[in-house]
Amino acid sequence: MSQHPAVTFRSAAVVLALALGAATPAAADAAPRSRPGDAVRSALDELAGGGEFASALAAVREPGGRGRDYTAGVGDLATRAKVPVNGQVRIASTTKTFTAAVVLQLAGEGKVELDAPVERYLPRLVRGNGHDGRLITVRQLLQHTSGLPDHSKAIPGTFFDNRHRYFEPRELVDLALTLQPLFPPGKGWSYSNSGYVLLGLLVQKVTGRPIGAEITDRIITPLGLGDTYWPNPGEQRIRGAHPRAYKSRTGEPGGEPVDVSEMDPSRGWAAGQLVSTPRDVNRFLGALLGGRLLKPAMLEQMKRTVPVPGAPRGWGYGLGLTKISLSCGGLAWGHSGDVGGYSTRGGVTEGGRSATVTATEKSLTAEGDKRLDRFLDTALCAGQRPAAGQALR
């Protein structure tokens, strides 16, 4: 999950020693090799060499489907193993875009009304301590304008205290409701994982199926996202090849990195539980913005944004989707997420170029967060800029 406004909108809240990726779909285990003038390669090396991250892996996909994979750093600090090309990672709050897409599919089918109160679908669930589901709409949950506080702020103890604890979705909602509303519904913006937990419960109530099954049947399987999955209850290990994830126990830069690759992701649930790869996230974002998952009217709704306090100029938040203003001009759309030592940024330009990066933390600083966003900008803009010594045509 993420929690500040940026591509991540960290626990927002839309991505990356020694090798340059082979063009997909080349063998995923092939050692990538460097190529002169590759801005993405240089940016990834800089990212992994900055001290905040042990490793980084990224994928860039062109509009026609051809792509390249990149890795940098060390995939396992204990064994000094290489970073697996297109390895599986916890994509955290990027899950929100999957959840939002399912809600909007249901809206397109006439089963959910975006401006209806949550109370219609989850009677009497959001009540007490100043909260009232009769006043909060589905759109406001998707947009983070509901005023619902984040349940993570009500969980006692540290990440390490709760790393292996399983949370029921209803328990997460109840934790959020112990906190006062941040503002009246529709009168502000604040990133809320709890809002997306409610959306997961709404999907289950409307469809009669688990949210993980709906995401799988409606998105993962139709798009052929073979390395993306919804972890089973209690499942703590990542199934495929993956870089190890780390967190500083003190949370301070330079602190001893602790391997936290195994953890229970249930505290994120519909807000942040998915495991995926850079290639799969690119394929998903390309399909979503390319109109393969939503009816045109619903995609238009998804891209209607509101301002986000503290976000870079030109950025905004739609319905589970971040609008990203690029340094090379134009826009990209995506999301990001941070949880358990994995930090992911992903986006797709309006021209169809997509990029996703995940870095494994040693200790994520504000500067490290900005460096992730800069990498994503570089990767998305690289197709519009000449390589070193190459003239624009």
Question: DSSP string of 206-259?
Answer: HHSS-HHHHHIIIIIHHHT-TT-B-PPTT--S-SS-----EEESS-STTPPEEE
Residue 88 has pLDDT above 90, yes or no: yes
Q: What is the mean pLDDT of residues 22-44?
A: 55
User: What average pLDDT does the segment 29-53 reach?
Assistant: 73
**Which is it for strands 246-248 and 131-132: parallel, antiparallel or unpaired?**
unpaired
The span from the CA of 71 to the CA of 19, in Å, is 6
278-289 and 95-108 are packed helices; what angle lies between their axes, rounded to 10 degrees? 30
CA distances to 271, 279, 295, 309, 311 from 106, rounded to whole Å, are: 18, 26, 11, 30, 30
- Name the band, by pLDDT with cuts 50, 70 and 90, for residue 116: very high
Please give the pLDDT value at position 312.
86
Q: Which of 39-53, 167-181, 373-387 has the lowest mean pLDDT?
A: 373-387
**What backbone phi and psi angles, to 5 degrees, belong to 219?**
-125, -60
Residue 393: predicted pLDDT: 21
Contacts of 131 by beta carbon, 8 Å cutoff, 6+ apart: 148, 177, 181
Mean pLDDT of the chain: 88
Query: According to the model, what pLDDT value does residue 383 have?
Result: 65
- Annotated catalytic residue, options 11, 93, 190, 248: 93
- Residue 8 vs residue 251, higher pLDDT: 251
Beta bridge partners of 60: 68, 355
Are the CB atoms for 151 and 197 separated by under 8 Å?
A: yes
Task: Reply yes or no on whether 336 is catalytic.
Answer: no
- From CA 287, how far away is CA 19, in angstroms rounded? 28
- Tokens 């759109």 appear where? 139
Q: What's CA 215's distance to the chain center, in Å?
A: 15
Report the greatest alpha carbon distance in the chain: 64
- Beta-strand relationship, 275-276 and 257-259: unpaired
pLDDT of residue 369: 83
